Amino acid sequence: MFNKKFIIENIKTLFYALIIALVIRSLFIQPFYIPSSSMEPNLLVGDRLFVTKYSYGYSKHSFPFSPPIFKGRIMSNAPNRGDVVVFKTPADNRTDYIKRLIGLPGDTIRFIDSNLYINNSEVLKSKILNKQKIFCGDKIIDVFFFEELLPNSKKHLTVYMKDFTYQNSDIFTVPADHYFFLGDNRDCSKDSRFLSSVGYVHKDNLVGKARFIFFSSDKSIGSFFAFWKWNKSIRFDRFFKKID
């Protein structure tokens, strides 16, 4: 015989737990999974990370399914150049992308001979490793590792292919209330350079700031349930790694 009171209490507990989880996910912190190699070497396929939702304030995209409960952004804070940001792509306002913020409203961005220019000033980059191999989708490409120095003194790692690299571009002028994003894997990233699919990202599309990796595994070696391969598939050295 079923205990009706027991069932009701368990349903209430589950309901409250879901509400609490929804509040935490919407207002404070949300986990994300890295499915592509566009942010290598800083973020790898298989990294799981936490993104703080409160960093830039809140818009409808802070909530699951982006409900139109209000317009614009509330408690808004401007992001900093060099932040690693999760945002909804302007093309569909549904897909989550993660890239590095390079251009602020009013900035001009362009590439000349594979060098990045912000407001007509070259972004200095120092080679720190000679040719190495990283992923670009399912392919392995040869790249050089650089440390880039942004105008606000923020440093980060980027990689460029030795051959067939992104050489030159038109001038991108960032509109008001928009931002320009690039992947750190410069020759293997669909980002703001591709105006038809990503382009300039409105401030209301920002979801949050990437903070740290809490788990990472290499699925090419084995799934999480293949515990006998954990010593090779799980990247223990990436646990709780801060994202710069």
CATH number for the domain spanning 98: value is 2.10.109.10
Q: Average pLDDT of 69-96?
A: 95
Structure confidence at residue 143 (pLDDT): 92
Identify the CA nearest to 212 among candidates 189, 238, 185.
238
Is residue 184 within 8 A of residue 30, CB to CB? The reply is: no
Q: Averaged over 42-50, what is the pLDDT?
A: 96
Catalytic residue (choose from 53, 60, 88, 99): 99
Write down the pLDDT at residue 227.
67
**Nearest Cα to 106, choosing from 179, 53, 36?**
179
Residue type for 15, please? Answer: F
Q: Model confidence over 102-138: pLDDT tens digits? A: 999 999 999 998 899 999 999 999 999 777 889 898 8
Give pLDDT tens digits for 132-158: 889 898 899 899 999 999 999 999 999
164 — pLDDT class (breaks 50, 70, 90): low
Asked whether 174 and 102 are in contact (CB, 8 A), the reply is no
Identify the burial level of 212 via C-beta atoms within 10 angstroms of its C-beta, where 0-12 means exposed, 13-18 middle and 19 or more buried: middle
Catalytic residue selected from 37, 38, 189, 233: 38
Q: What is the CA radius of gyration of the chain?
A: 20
Tell me which residue range forms the domain holding 63.
4-70+79-242
Residue type, 120: N
- 88 vs 61: CA distance, rounded Å: 7
| pLDDT bracket for residue 97 (50, 70, 90) | very high
Q: How many domains does the chain have?
A: 1
Contact 182, 83 (CB under 8 A): no
% of the chain exceeding 70 in pLDDT: 95
At residue 10 the predicted structure's pLDDT band, cuts being 50, 70 and 90, is confident
38 part of the active site: yes
**203 classed as catalytic:** no
- Please give the mean pLDDT across all residues of the chain: 91
Predicted local distance difference test score (pLDDT) of residue 149:
97
pLDDT at 87 over 60: yes
pLDDT score of 166: 76
